[in-house]
């Protein structure tokens, strides 16, 4: 029987969702797998992975959305700004998923974008259903919807036990960004 790709969801309040997805990238690049990561929330990518992604080329590709909006976003409310990014991200994701060029695609913060009402749950379900059978699809972000969880093969909820933020410790280079 032909092995099918997995649908993986990293959700929950605790830290580690994007980090876990990046862990898959590190592992898969070792086998020369092709991976694409797409951001759904503007500014959700921190500097570290943007810099190291260059070292993981050509296997790893990070799609930065919203460069073209830079000139106009200052005049818009943050919600509209995020909405534009999320809608564009859906379009690009669909193209990437259907291209058949990738082994793994990561939709970073997509669950959170649905929860914020920036994109519709149906759009995400449509993305999942349109994937080639062999493609592994990773969806990160808190508040993953029930229907998406139902479609997934692997769901991990990061549960916060402690976070340095609670002690007033600020985000740390290499750990948080």
Which three-class secondary structure state does DSSP give residue 91? Answer: helix
- Does position 26 interact with ligand ATP (CB under 6 A)? The reply is no
The distance of closest approach from Cβ of residue 90 to ligand ATP in the complex, given in angstroms and rounded to an integer, is: 18
User: Which residues of this chain interact with Mg ion, rule CB under 5 A?
Assistant: 17-18
The listed partner (Mg ion, ligand ATP, none) that binds 15, CB under 5 to 8 Å by sort, is ligand ATP
C-alpha distances in Å from residue 89, one per residue of 2, 104, 157, 166? 30, 16, 24, 32
- Does position 52 interact with ligand ATP (CB under 6 A)? The reply is no
- Does position 23 interact with ligand ATP (CB under 6 A)? The reply is no
Q: What is the largest CA-CA distance in the chain?
A: 54
Indicate the helix (H) or strand (E) that contains 11: strand 7-11
How far is 47 from 49, CA to CA, in rounded Å?
Answer: 6
> What's the gap between Cα 138 and its chain centre?
7
- Does position 163 interact with ligand ATP (CB under 6 A)? The reply is yes
In the shown chain, the binding pattern of residues 95 to 124 toward ligand ATP, with x for contact by CB under 6 A and - for none, equals --------------x---------------
Chain contacts with ligand ATP (rule: CB under 6 A): 13-19, 44, 109, 140, 142, 158, 160, 163, 165, 171, 176-177
């Amino acid at each position: 029987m032909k092995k099918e790709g997995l649908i993986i969801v990293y959700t929950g309040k605790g830290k580690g969702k994007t980090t876990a997805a990046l862990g898959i990238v590190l592992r898969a690049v070792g086998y020369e797998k092709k991976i694409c990561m797409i951001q759904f929330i503007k500014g959700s990518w921190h500097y570290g992975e943007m810099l190291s992604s260059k070292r993981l080329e050509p296997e790893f590709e990070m799609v930065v959305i919203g460069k073209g909006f830079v000139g106009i976003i200052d005049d818009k409310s943050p919600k509209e700004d995020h909405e534009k990014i999320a809608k564009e991200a859906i379009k690009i994701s669909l193209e990437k998923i259907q291209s058949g060029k990738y082994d793994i695609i990561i939709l970073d913060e997509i669950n959170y974008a649905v929860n914020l009402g920036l994109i519709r749950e149906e759009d995400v379900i449509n993305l999942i259903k349109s994937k080639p059978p062999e493609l592994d699809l990773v969806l990160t972000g808190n508040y993953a919807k029930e229907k998406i969880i139902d479609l997934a093969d692997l769901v991990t909820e990061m549960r916060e036990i402690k976070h340095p933020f609670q002690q007033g410790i600020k985000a740390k280079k290499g750990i948080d960004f």
